[in-house]
Amino acid sequence: MNGSLYPVAILFAAIFTNNILLTNYLGMCSFLSVSRELKTSVGLGVAVTFVMATTSVLNWLVYNKILVPLELEYLRFIVFIIVIAAFVQIVEMVIERVSETLYAALGIFLPLITVNCAILGVSLFMVIREYSFIESFTFGLGSGIGWFLAILAMAGIRQKLKKARLPKGLEGAGITLVITGMMAMAFMGFSGMINIG
Amino acid sequence: MVKGKLKKTFTDPLGKNNPVFAQILGICSTLAVTNKLENTVVMTLGVVFTTTLSSFVISLIRKWIPSRVRMMAETLIIASFVIIVDITLRAYMPDIWKQLGPYVGLIITNCIIMGRAEAFALNNTPGLSLIDGLASGIGYSYVLIIVAIFRELLGTGSLWGIKILGSWWTNWSIMIMPPGAFFMLAIFIWIVKGAIIPEKEEAKK
């Protein structure tokens, strides 16, 4: 494939055809629990996109510049999770100092991000698929936007759904999963466009 | 009394407090690895190993972990066990390791393990935590295995890679693709929550 086009292709593939939530099932826990309100979904979506794009770059540097030369690749799980947790902690402290309103809006979501498996998943996919620096960044950014898109759509649907009458057992997680399945089917319509492993 | 608590610790995560269908935790891997029974079984063994031992170790050192850094300490302990699982799988089952891809590493962020560490292992004795971890692991495993059996059978007509349904069966291939995973789990949760759990709750009242 054309070298200069590839990172852009990864960006779009990560948003649509290889959506991290709908085709790789990552970040489901927070997706299911936070998608009740549109407002909170936006907060979490922004935080996830930002952290994903940044940690994919940081982890790429740490993995390729430190772990690979030292032949310590098997330590990547521990190192990646430390980088993510430390980064989230720093971001939280910076936001607290810089902007009170932003902290009030994002503050509660930042701890949730450390345990969001999509963030770690992006870094692990990046290693398996052997992405370059730029590709890792676009993959992280695209995955974040894709996740944001999915949770936004779900929150919108669920706000309308409050008025619907459902069978008792299907309330909450059940119906959310059914709708997610339908969204996954809709996103499968994009699959002819681009494909990344 | 002690025996009663022991029994409750073991049976709760299998039934009404099941991590997957009652607490909706660990959904990511439930969906991702259930398209082939073989992969599912290997994955569940890895999770059982990690939940059991990490709960035990976290409980052992719970008095020395400062509460500010406890999440970090827990994550590190969990990650160490996952590395053991990862290396073992790569050495003995390279094919399955390849198919599972990043999901072995993602055992670290499986909310069940962190959830049990936070909710149980920090406040209970090592022995009890070991049982709790084991039971949570088993509770998670059997849900996954049931879902995997349905998905593989309907999606490819086979189980464990062996053809079960004859040539008359048309593969329902959406079952092994992402949407099928979401629908199958939704149906499972619906059946369990709708038919089994409410009856018990009403009986108590």
CA-based torsion, A48, A54, A57, A60: positive or negative: negative
Looking at residue A75, its amino acid is L
Calculate how close chain B gets to A100, using CA atoms only, in Å.
23
In percent, the amount of chain B with pLDDT more than 90 equals 0
Q: Is the ipTM of this complex over 0.85?
A: no
First to last CA, chain A: 14
Q: Taking CB atoms and an 8 Å cutoff, what residues of chain A touch B198? A: 168-169
Per mean pLDDT, which of B14-18, B93-97, B158-162, B175-179 is the most reliable? Answer: B93-97
CA distance A142 to A149: 10
Q: What is the mean pLDDT of chain B?
A: 81
- For residues A60 and B36, what is the distance between their CA atoms, to the nearest angstrom? 31
- Between B31 and A114, name the one with better pLDDT: B31
Buried b / exposed e along A45-56 (16+ C-beta atoms within 10 A): bbbbbbbbbbbb
**Mean pLDDT in residue range A133-141:** 90
List, in sequence order, every residue forming a beta bridge with B162; answer none if it has no partner: B159
CA dist B182 and A176 (Å) reads 9
Q: Which long-range contacts (CB under 8 A, 24 or more apart) does B69-74 make?
A: B70/B122, B71/A85, B71/A114, B71/B114, B72/A82, B72/A85, B74/B114, B74/B117, B74/B118
CA dihedral A115, A120, A121, A124 (to 10 degrees): -160
Q: Tell whether A24 lies on the interface with B, counting CB pairs under 8 A.
A: yes
Would you call B24 and A173 a contact, using CB atoms and an 8 Å cutoff? yes
Taking residues B150-168, report their average pLDDT. 79
> Is A167 within 8 Å of B190 (Cβ atoms)?
yes
CA distance A130 to A139: 12
Neighbours of A196 (CB within 10 A): 17
Mean pLDDT of chain A, nearest integer: 82
For B194, which of A25, A169, A182 is closest by C-beta distance?
Answer: A169
Q: Give the closest residue to B66 by CA, choosing from B130, B122, B127.
A: B122
Of B25, B111, B198, the CB nearest to A168: B198
**Which stretches of A129-163 are DSSP H helices?**
133-161
Identity of residue A97: R
A117, B110: Cβ pair inside 8 Å? yes
Residue A112 has pLDDT above 80, yes or no: no
**Neighbour-count burial of A40, counting CB atoms closer than 10 A to its CB (0-12 exposed, 13-18 middle, 19+ buried):** middle
* Contact between A22 and B178 using a beta-carbon 8 Å cutoff: yes
Cα–Cα distance between A177 and A171 in angstroms, integer?
Answer: 10
What's the mean pLDDT in B33-54? Answer: 87
**What is the per-residue pLDDT for B75?**
83
Identify which has the larger pLDDT, B29 or A58: A58
Q: Ranked by mean pLDDT, which of A1-15, A114-128, A182-196 comes out on top?
A: A114-128
Which residues in chain B are contacts of A125 at CB distance < 8 A?
Answer: 101-102
Pairwise CA distance, residues B159 & B67, whole Å: 46
Give residues 62 to 91 of B whose Cβ lies within 8 Å of A.
71-72, 75-76, 79-80, 82-83, 86-87
Task: Report the pLDDT averaged over residues A10-19.
Answer: 84
| Min Cα–Cα distance to chain B from A102, Å | 24
**Rounded Cα distance, A72 and A127, in Å:** 13
> For residue A77, which residues of chain B lie inside 8 Å, CB to CB?
79, 82-83, 86, 105, 108
Note the pLDDT of residue A21: 83
Residues 6+ apart with CB under 8 A from A147: A19, A20, A21, A27, A31, A45, A48, A49, A52, A118
Indicate whether A148 pLDDT > 60. yes
Query: Which of B143, B139, B138, B128 is closest to B191 using CA atoms?
Result: B143
Closest chain B C-alpha to A32 CA, distance in angstroms: 8
| Backbone conformation region of residue B81, classed left if phi is above 0, alpha if psi is from -120 to 50, else beta | alpha
Backbone angles phi, psi at B124, to 5 degrees: -130, 165
Band (B161; pLDDT cuts 50, 70, 90): confident
Q: Which residue has the higher pLDDT, B38 or B172?
A: B38
- The residue type of A89 is Q
Distance CA B75, CA B53 (A): 13
- pLDDT (tens digit, 9 = 90+) per residue, B58-78? 888 888 888 777 777 888 888
pLDDT at B203 over 70: no
Q: How confident is the model at residue A114 (pLDDT cuts 50, 70, 90)?
A: low
The residue type at B113: I
A77 → closest Cβ in B101, B108, B177: B108
Residues of chain B by 3-state class (helix, strand, coil), percent to 5:
75, 0, 20
Distance, CA of B67 to CA of B170 (rounded, Å)? 56
Query: pLDDT-derived band of residue A145, with 50, 70 and 90 as boundaries?
Result: very high
Q: What is the pLDDT of residue A108?
A: 67
CB contact under 8 A, B80 and A78: yes
Kindly state the average pLDDT of the residues A26-37: 80
* pLDDT score, position A197: 56
SS3 of B158, please? Answer: strand
Tell me if the pTM is above 0.80.
yes
**Paired tokens of A36:** 């009740």
| pLDDT the model gives residue A141 | 92
Model confidence at A169, in pLDDT bands (50, 70, 90)?
confident
Instruction: Quickly state the pLDDT bin for B198 (edges 50, 70, 90).
Output: low
More confident residue, A114 or B201: A114
Q: What gap in Å lies between CA A110 and CA A107, rounded to an integer?
A: 6
A1 — pLDDT class (breaks 50, 70, 90):
very low
State the count of interchain CB pairs (< 8 A) between A and B. 126
Determine whether the interchain pair B179/A169 forms a contact, defined as Cβ–Cβ distance below 8 Å: no
B199: Cβ contacts below 8 Å, ≥ 6 apart: none
Q: Report whether B93 contacts B7 (CB < 8 A).
A: no
